[in-house]
Amino acid sequence: MTGSAGQELPLAGVRVLALEHAVAAPIATRHLADMGAEVIKVERPAIGDFARRYDQSVHGLSSFFVWLNRGKRSLTLDVKKPGAAGLLARLVARSDVVVQNLAPGASDRLGLSYAALSPAHPRLVLCDISGYGRDGPYASRKAYDLLIQAEAGLMSVTGTPEAPARAGISAADIATGMYAYSGILAALVRRGNTGRGAHLQVTMLNAVAEWMGHALYQAAYGSGPPARLASGHPNIQPYGTYRTGDGAVILGIQNDGEWATFCRDVLGRPELATDPRFATNVARVANGMELTAAIEAVFAGLDSAAVIGRLDAAGIANGRLNDAGQVWAHPQLAARDRWREVGTPGGTVRALLPPTEFADVELAMGDVPALGAHTTAILSEIGCTEAEIANLRSTGTV
């Protein structure tokens, strides 16, 4: 497979079989598809991935499904039907990678464990995605994004002092999927060197616990768990949202040199840079309420545009509090030509190019598949005759 610049895509020729639903596995395999892999998405006949029905925001389609499943081929298959095992075996035989995030124990029951597959397919990369892993006291528990955000501590550091909050995107699912994606890429590189496949396990708890790293260290070795400060930061000051005469601005300062510049060129109060309460970041954090009061006392006499003008002139990092609609029209995304059009069963939609940019090739931007759109073609490719396909349809297997 080649990209728009005519160069071969990084994963051209790699075949991926995905028994997936929701977010964690689909985001991993969508990035593989963006890189040029052929991804076959196995879905239940007549029902499909239940994420297809999360909402109807995009031409009557689910915003989640449109986001996570472009560039894939959809094969309907009822894996519980008697004829399904043989079809899965044929699909596995032509695959480089198998990805699954089925319910705990389901892949083993289908004969898709690494122990069952690796003897006949020693080059296969199998990636199991789960909430908590194959063993331990939580192994059989179901895991959803909200629950993992709570279990892994993310909600404890997100929100206001009065109330914890779930991150507004599927942070646990996304973290897990991206570790699965990077792990699969690493396994393919190693296979290229050794010829040996791999069994990967990626759990949601592990992924978010890794993201909690500094907070865990602070809780274990420091002053206790970090405080929830809404848009503020428990370890860096000033860093957050500050009121102005007509609204608010968001800014961040990373070191004492920037702090001195901020005091001199933005606040017009250079003496604050050496004030013992604020001279170091540790002191600024300890005296956060007084610091905020000193900053907002100056900002109160200025509108937001004037504050931003001063911040920009001084080279102090700042940003706008955009909502999703404003990001859709973000001038930087437009200026860098980051949008493309892809097809969906409901019509053409805009989609962002993948975040990774190759200098010599534009990554793939395939269409979002209708349920079962590629079933007949895929079955034919693995050797099924027209009569066999008709029989599989009549029995509800596909």
| 177, 183, 185, 186: CA torsion to nearest 10 | 170
Q: What is the DSSP letter of 273?
A: G
| 312, 314, 318, 320: CA torsion to nearest 10 | -30
Which long-range contacts (C-beta less than 8 Å, at least 24 apart) are formed by 159-162? Answer: 159/228, 159/230, 160/228, 160/229, 160/230, 161/227, 161/228, 161/229, 161/230
| 130, 96, 383, 75: CA torsion to nearest 10 | 40
Query: What is the SS3 assignment for 350?
Result: strand
Burial of 192 (0-12, 13-18, 19+ CB in 10 A): exposed
- Residues 218, 62: Cα–Cα separation, whole Å: 40
Q: What is the DSSP letter of 161?
A: S
Which of 21, 59, 214, 233 is an active site residue?
A: 233
Report which of 78, 49, 43 is spatially closest to residue 65, judged by C-alpha positions. 49
- Residues 219, 225: Cα–Cα separation, whole Å: 4
- Residues 221, 215: Cα–Cα separation, whole Å: 10
For this structure, is 233 an active site residue? yes
Answer yes or no: are the C-beta atoms of 300 and 243 closer than 8 Å.
Answer: yes
- List C-alpha distances in Å: 17 to 20, 127, 133, 190, 232: 9, 10, 21, 19, 43
In sequence order, which residues have a C-beta less than 8 Å from that of residue 265 and are 6 or more positions away? Answer: 310, 313, 314
Answer yes or no: are the C-beta atoms of 142 and 131 closer than 8 Å.
Answer: yes
- Residues serving a catalytic function are 233
